[in-house]
Amino acid sequence: MSIDLSVLSLADLKSLKKEVVKAIASFEDRRRQDALSAMEAAAREHGFALAELIDGAPVKKRKPARAKYAHPENAAVTWTGKGRKPKWVVDYLATGRAIDDLAI
């Protein structure tokens, strides 16, 4: 299919653009619905409802990381040693002391 876009006015081009965007969205929605129907059929073949398979899957939760360092003046303020260093760690290290001094 070939359309000579050079003969269209600006208004026609903008209208065509809106129609194309709608057509693409409609196409994607149909494909999504087809995929969902296929997944539901496959789940039924195995004796399950799709929602049962999606919602019923156990989710493993991570334990929070254990703190490795504590603030020298307030032990309730801690850091795991992962990610960006908190300001209090940066300030402590800037005084020339070692990170090992903060170890819990």
Q: What is the pLDDT along the chain (104 residues), one digit of tens a residue?
A: 788 999 999 999 999 999 999 999 999 999 999 999 999 999 999 988 888 888 766 657 788 899 999 999 999 999 999 999 999 999 999 999 999 999 99
Q: pTM of the prediction? A: 0.44
SS3 69: strand
> 101 near 64, Cβ under 8 Å?
no
